Amino acid sequence: MSIDIHVPTLGESVSDATIARWIKKAGDAVAADEPIVELETDKVTLEVPSPVAGKLGEIIAAEGETVEVGALLARVEEGVAGVKSAPKQEAPKSAPAKPADETPAPVAAAAPALAAVAIDTSDLSPAVRRLVDEHKLNPANIAATGVGGRLTKADVLATINKPQATPAQTVIGVATNAPAVPRATPRAVDAAREERVRMSKLRQVIASRLKAAQNSAAMLTTFNEVDMSSLMKLRADYKDAFEAAHEVRLGFMGVFVQAAIQALREFPAVNAEIDGTDIIYKNYYNIGVAVGTPQGLVVPVIKDAGEMSLADTERAISDFGLRARDGKIAPDDMAGGTFTISNGGVYGSMMSTPILNPPQSGILGMHKIEKRAVVIDDQIVIRPMMYLALSYDHRIIDGREAVSFLARIKEMVEDPRRLLMGV
């Protein structure tokens, strides 16, 4: 019996996905619950398993194609023996696409040769066919970048948006403030050494959201520095006992999350957002913790972090870190954040200006701990110092509030006893 495999529900506000890769090929044997295809949305990457054991039959949607929720992906022939996949077939996952095959030809160059071709939409996916019909386009005049020369939804959207793009429009989800500048033709010797790879949906959304934050918010950044001596000593003294008692390692991020929550209670505007002409003050603390992955930056959210102990916070951070690196973060894990903390110090960043995560009004940037000469009680001493940066929306947060918020975090980190005492 043939079993249809459809695109599953992808999470709140996510209506489509891109076929990142087929883990199994047509004719391969599959086990029940074994992943057969990897989908990439604008938030996460997820695997679709086979509901039954058998053989992967017809593959309907090709790699690179955009498919909507409920769309048919493939069929599995239940109980039929298939060919066992060789283990080495995982290698192409990280291999770049062949530039010569995947680089789309310029639309303008293809149009004259294909202008006379009759319009045929029979082999298009429903989503692509709908866009073509609505905008009265000839698919023959659109450069196809899908596997096997198939036309994808992204190809059609690019053609729709590109010719008369206004400054407020977006192209393939990436916001712009000005018409795209045509890329200069590189020298032949340089072109041969270039590699063209389509942006992932996650990377497109990252680009769009970061640009949107700059366009919509009156973003400003204030800086301070914190002496990490006390916190580092606290960690050195109690890390073994902490891990033995709570079965999780004691890090710095958990302390900064707890310090941020205390500061947010004292300066509620930093935990608020603007909705039209209203300010929404949030009496709860959902803290986003930025995590870098091979696919891009993701920001899983610790829900109700204000109700957690330090040990609970560290468990949540550890769990998110592991799942993010394995591509197991769900869309709901990244929803509902009220404030974000980003630690560029793990990559060696000494100072940066983090960009807001809309609609949030504040983001805290941590940086590299570095020994520096500082003056304490008129004496020059060597201390482990860290620069802190707070980017904030000046429309809702005044400079006094931003500076005071950051100074409050500095106080608590330099004297962690304040966190225990709530002072």
Question: Nearest-CA neighbor of 256 among 37, 371, 416, 108?
Answer: 416
In angstroms, the CA 36 to CA 286 distance is: 34
What are the DSSP calls for 344-374, one per residue?
Answer: GGGGT-S---PPP-TT-SEEEEE---EEEEE
Q: Which residues pair with 76 in a beta bridge?
A: 3, 56
Active site residue 398: yes
Name the catalytic one among 33, 135, 394, 415: 394
User: In this structure, are residues 127 and 18 in contact, taking their beta carbons and an 8 Å threshold?
Assistant: no
Name the catalytic one among 123, 240, 304, 398: 398
> Which class for 416: exposed (0-12), middle (13-18), buried (19 or more C-beta within 10 A)?
middle
List the chain pLDDT tens, one digit each, 423 residues.
Answer: 788 888 887 765 567 788 888 998 888 888 888 888 988 776 667 788 888 888 888 898 888 888 888 888 988 888 777 666 555 444 444 444 444 444 444 443 333 333 333 455 656 776 677 777 777 777 777 877 765 567 777 777 777 766 443 333 333 334 444 455 677 788 888 888 888 887 776 667 667 766 777 777 789 999 999 999 999 999 999 999 999 999 999 999 999 999 999 999 999 999 999 998 899 999 999 999 988 776 667 889 999 999 999 999 999 999 998 888 777 888 788 889 999 999 988 888 999 999 998 889 999 999 999 999 999 999 999 999 999 999 999 999 999 999 999 999 999 999 999 988 877
User: In this structure, are residues 141 and 115 in contact, taking their beta carbons and an 8 Å threshold?
Assistant: yes
Distant-in-sequence, close-in-space partners of 103: CB < 8 Å, separation ≥ 6: 196
pTM: 0.59
In angstroms, the CA 301 to CA 48 distance is: 24
pLDDT of residue 97: 45
Question: Nearest-CA neighbor of 82 among 151, 163, 12, 24?
Answer: 24
Domains, the chain, ranges and CATH? 2-93 (2.40.50.100), 99-205 (no CATH), 217-421 (3.30.559.10)
Residue 50 has which token pair? 């086979």
- Amino acid letter, residue 268: P
In angstroms, the CA 318 to CA 305 distance is: 14
Q: Which residues pair with 366 in a beta bridge?
A: 343
Question: Nearest-CA neighbor of 355 among 415, 258, 290, 295?
Answer: 290
Q: How far is CA 264 from the centre of its chain?
A: 25
What is the SS3 assignment for 14-51? CCEEEEEEECCCCCEEECCCCEEEEEECCCCEEEEECC
The backbone region for 241, taken as left when phi is positive above 0, alpha when psi lies in -120 to 50, beta otherwise, is: alpha
Question: Nearest-CA neighbor of 324 among 294, 347, 303, 304?
Answer: 294
Question: Nearest-CA neighbor of 10 among 70, 73, 65, 56?
Answer: 70
